[in-house]
Chains A and B, each alone.
Chain A
């Protein structure tokens, strides 16, 4: 299978995250991921995009970029936000902020679980600041079979 790239840009609004989640679910199905792993991929995408909307942009007119790459071994998803005015320089998820979120996370917390879920489920997970002042989150899922 040749490497294929899919690029999407959505408004920073959770309404559109649902649509992208459905698309990625269908893609995972076509790539013959199991139903369980397909649900995992959709959950990870939902969590990353929700964080990008909530913390990585300041207005609905901002864009969230998604780059999806498929090859014979992997499904890779890169989510890019542009950063919000409130976020510290270098994106909303600085190493310090990440440590703080993880330290404060408890089962009774209403928030702060998204990043933990992503790290627990994705085969590979990377976060880094981008040139736009936002955050890039990259996850990789190894194809099955």
Chain B
């Protein structure tokens, strides 16, 4: 249980969260599932991709790279938020897969996620598809 101290003032709220060693929480990898469709691996993500989850995503992608898995589809249709750290992880792995003859394709981006990809320019680096079916067909 996290220790919380809340002090209320009129028109003010002060919240302090104190750190007390390692946090026990559900890993975001539990919300990232991996399945296969022929020689293509599909990662389906069911958690928002902030920096906390991005490190788990990067570990999962690195694990695929180490197993010489070359074709990856990342399905983000259940994701409501993505930050630049997570986009950077996807871009980095896509570039490394391409160097080895594979690729990483993304599908299912909500409007605000598309905007983040466009702002960064990542949509010019990683192929983005509306549906998982179209991403799979693009290999």
CB neighbours (8 Å) of A46 from chain B are: 50-51, 81, 83
State how many residues of chain A have any CB contact under 8 Å with chain B: 42
Contact call A117/B120, Cβ cutoff below 8 A: yes
Interface presence of A30 (CB below 8 A):
no
**Beyond A9-B17, A13-B23, A36-B111, is A43–B81 a contact (Cβ under 8 Å)?**
yes
Give the residues in chain A near B80, CB-CB below 8 Å: 39
Q: Does the CB pair B13–A7 fall under 8 Å?
A: yes
Q: Give the chain A neighbours of B16 by CB distance below 8 A.
A: 8-9
Residues of A within 8 A of B78 (CB): none
Are B12 and A5 neighbours in the complex by a CB distance under 8 Å? yes
* Assembly CA distance A14 to B53 (angstroms): 9
A42 touches B51 (CB 8 A): no
Q: 7 nearest interchain CB pairs?
A: A107-B121, A11-B19, A110-B88, A113-B84, A14-B51, A110-B92, A39-B112
Interface residues of B (CB under 8 A from A): 11-19, 23, 25, 48, 50-53, 55, 80-81, 83-85, 87-89, 91-92, 95, 111-112, 116, 119-122, 124-125
List 25 interface pairs A-B (beta carbons < 8 Å), by A numbering: A4-B13, A7-B12, A8-B14, A8-B15, A9-B17, A11-B19, A13-B19, A14-B50, A14-B55, A17-B50, A21-B50, A21-B81, A39-B80, A39-B81, A43-B116, A46-B50, A46-B51, A47-B83, A53-B51, A107-B121, A110-B92, A111-B84, A113-B120, A117-B119, A117-B120
Residues of A that sit less than 8 Å from B by CB: 2-11, 13-19, 21, 36, 39-40, 42-43, 46-47, 50, 53-54, 60-61, 106-111, 113-114, 116-117, 120-121
